[in-house]
Amino acid sequence: MTNRLANETSLYLRQHAGNPVDWFPWGEEAFERARAEGKPLLISIGYSSCHWCHVMEHESFEDPALAEIQNRHFVSVKVDREERPDVDRVYMSACQLLTQQGGWPLNVFLMPNGQPFFAGTYFPPDPRYGRPSWRQVLEGIHRAWTEKREEVVTSAAEITAAITREERGASAAAPNPGDLKRAVIQLMARADRENGGFGGAPKFPNVMSLELLLRSTDRTGDPMAGSHAVMTAKRMAAGGIYDQLGGGFHRYTVDGGWEVPHFEKMLYDNGLLLRLFAEMLRTDPLPELEVAARGVVRWLDREMMAEDGSFFAAQDADSEGEEGKFFVWRPEEVAAVVGAADAPFACRLLDVRDHGNFEHGQSVLARRESVAAVGARFGLTPEVAEAKASQVVEQLLEARSKRIAPVTDTKRIAAWNGLMVQGLARLGGVLGDVEMVARAERAMAAVLTGFRLADGRLSRIRQQAEDGSDRAHTGAFLDDHAELCNGALDLFVVTGREEHLRSALTLAESAIARFYEEEAGTFGLAPTDGERLVVALRSALDEATPNAIASTLRGLQRLAQLVDDGGFEELVVRALSQHGAEVAMSASGCSSLLRVVENGWLGLTTLVAVLPAAASSEELAEVRAAALGLIGADDLLVVCREGEALGAPLAASLVAARTCLDGRATYYLCRGGSCSLPVTSWLQVAELRRERALEVGE
């Protein structure tokens, strides 16, 4: 027997279809039932690859006795946070206000009008970990609802008002360049100088903060912040957070040294990390980062790519009911695969220990020493050691492929595909890997053509339903438009194809039309013509992914450098003025918005490369490839022949009167409406870029 969730397209919701809980999907039907029966709602939010979501389901939601209590006293609603980030955002804010922490599963109790009055995350079936049992929570909330209703109503109104204040985003002043320095100081004060990253356990990649540190070094010439970012990336690439056999990064580690991960893999983490690694590889070869980045791409190809070229959302942490079972090894298991003679080398290479570093004496694989160093311990030359290491990894990967793998959530999310497009495009450009760029183009085309609702609007999700049909559903949010817009701009920079610029412009115009709130002077995360929640969402704080408002403003800034005036710059300035208070409270928590502040302060760079009229397509491509190693992640690039007319929507002024010196390729570095004198060597371009950064550096 199944409940209403059996008809949903979300894998997460369908995973709960067999529960004895009388689940509703999010929607008006549940709220009508609550109003009609005078009951509070329980909103339980999670996602398919969430380990503790599975644990609570098995312990509590599958228990008939607990389900009976839940069904009798509450209207229960299951929400996939990846489908409804707006619902998740509102009620996660409530949880953080009430408990000073958050996470998933997120369980929130609401008034029938949607206002929250109690929230928490995982609750065990029996009291432990300092937490009440799920039965105690259900019975306690029911008593409060029946015996102290006035207090519940008052509390719900106060909590909603507090969330509204946090999300309002209104401010008397815009963030300023001083906030950039303050954010770097805040981040470096929390920097783990030994292991990389920030703070202790658990340890998350925090890509947006690492990007901020990289840009600080690029801007000021002070290497300290950027060095910490690079050290962090190296430690992650060598640690257990990276799947040393199959490629791809796990969500986070439960320790402070990147050793033991929470084993789920999310598309967005890997897209962001490719974006970060691309910027690091632009200025330094860093072979260990290139190896890890290419491993991510192989993982995408092997496990995460849909038939249309778009990418799946996530992979579970669990297999066979155990977290991490698919990924961990014992020494005897390694020996059984590679043979007794090679087992000592393999175990040393991949840090497989006699007593392990995980449950039941198992080891999470890591690279604590270089291949050459491991080889030297066994009397092998570097070349022989490299060959043996590759063989060992291939053998173990092949053996692991015969294990029962974690479930892949095959829904495709527009925003997360946009982040992966950015990572692939930028990395492919820096490495000169045309196949990597082609993957990004294919994914972008798949989303822009296939992620469409019946009325033609962009959808957030495309997913295969139970009946086998592959369909788009759930209207797109601001982050979907923003990350796809920036992905299209990255593809334009890397390829020069004007179709990508047109796509970026269309996405930006749609974002303005559907998400810009004129009265508030900024963007909302949910569409103005969509469902109205109890709180309007306008916070500029980063979460696991870049803040959607900040990503939107970043895209508009970049477009303003390339197209005829669409009022984009003025809109960015006005929106920034609404978020100064948030940055003042948490500069380091607004890393993505400070990226926009920095771009506005420095003035984005557009490098215009003009080649002789007779230049071949190959020569244009060579110049573009060289330029990609010089310009920053948000900078723009136009490569053309002398006298060539640019096609719409590119602004004609970009190349007006731009001529070649002495019949040679000539470069103009443009920023803030003015351009440098023409130069003819890449060394001169690099020097101009450095000088302009330092002119306004801290």
More confident residue, 686 or 35: 35
Q: How many domains does the chain have?
A: 4
The DSSP code sequence of 79-96 is EETTT-HHHHHHHHHHHH
Residues 132 and 254 in one domain: no
Sequential DSSP letters for 543-600: -SS--HHHHHHHHHHHHHTTBS--SHHHHHHHHHTT-HHHHHH-SGGGHHHHHHHHHH
* Residue-level pLDDT at 643: 87
Q: Which residues pair with 605 in a beta bridge?
A: 671
151/72 same-domain check: yes
Cα angle value 563/567/569 (rounded, 5°): 85
Give the pLDDT score at 696. 47
- How many DSSP H helices and E strands does the chain contain? 26, 21
Residue 698 pLDDT > 60 = no
Query: For residue 102, what is the domain's CATH number?
Result: 3.40.30.10
Query: What Cα–Cα distance (Å) separates residue 1 from each residue in 19, 22, 55, 70, 71?
Result: 9, 11, 21, 18, 16
Grouping H, G, I as helix, E, B as strand and the rest as coil, residue 634 is coil
Token pair of 450, please?
């296939």
CA distance 583 to 594: 8
φ/ψ of 543, rounded to 5, equals -125, -140
Boundary (domain end) residue, out of 384, 402, 420? 402
What is the C-alpha to C-alpha distance for residues 268 and 49, in angstroms, rounded to an integer? 13
Mean pLDDT value across residues 206-217 = 96
Res. 247: pLDDT tops 80: yes
Residues 272 and 395 in one domain: no
Distance (Å, whole) CA 134 – CA 120: 11
Q: Which residues pair with 321 in a beta bridge?
A: none
Question: Span 524-553, mean pLDDT?
Answer: 93
Q: Using one digit for the tens of pLDDT, what is the confidence trace for 607-624?
A: 999 999 999 999 999 999
Question: Domain span at residue 434?
Answer: 177-319+409-601
The CA distances from residue 435 to 297, 301, 307, 429, 484, in Å, are: 10, 11, 17, 10, 20
pLDDT above 80 for 655:
no
Question: Looking at residue 298, which CATH number applies to its domain?
Answer: 1.50.10.10
397 plus 452 within the same structural domain: no
What is the number of other CB atoms lying within 10 angstroms of the CB of residue 616? Answer: 10
- 396: β partners: none
Backbone φ, ψ for residue 116 (5° rounding): -85, 145
DSSP string for 484-536: HHHHHHHHHHHH--HHHHHHHHHHHHHHHHHHEETTTTEE-SS-TTS---SS-
Could you tell me if 655 and 580 lie in one domain? no
Q: Quick one: pLDDT at residue 169?
A: 55
Do 131 and 92 share a structural domain? yes
Specify whether 611 is located in the same domain as 597: no
pTM for the structure as a whole: 0.94
pLDDT surpasses 80 at 574 = yes
Residues 642 and 629 in one domain: yes
Token pair recorded at residue 238: 């060598």
At 530, is the pLDDT very low, low, confident or very high (cuts 50, 70, 90)?
Answer: confident
Rounded Cα gap, residues 208 and 385, in angstroms: 36
| CATH number of domain containing 608 | 3.40.30
Secondary-structure percent of the chain, ordered helix, strand, coil, rounded to 5: 50, 15, 35
Quote the CA–CA distance of 351 and 641 in Å, as a whole number: 54
**Whether residue 386 sits in one domain with residue 429:** no
CA distance 666 to 653: 17
Asked whether residue 410 carries a pLDDT value surpassing 80, the answer given is yes
Residue finishing a domain among 355, 378, 402: 402
The confidence band for 170, taking pLDDT boundaries of 50, 70 and 90, is low
The tokens describing 264, both together, are 């789920």
SS3 of 230, please?
helix
pLDDT of residue 697: 46
For 143, counting Cβ atoms within 10 Å of its Cβ (0-12 exposed, 13-18 middle, 19+ buried), the class is exposed
pLDDT at 557: 96
Same domain, 111 and 31: yes
Structure tokens at 599: 């771009």
Among 550, 580, 601, residue at a domain's last position? 601
Instruction: Give the mean pLDDT of 137-141.
Output: 97
Determine the length of the chain: 698
Rg of the chain over CA atoms, in angstroms?
26
pLDDT the model gives residue 329: 98
Same domain, residue pair 429 and 498 = yes
Instruction: Find where tokens 């007593």 sit.
Output: 355
Q: Are residues 513 and 608 in the same domain?
A: no
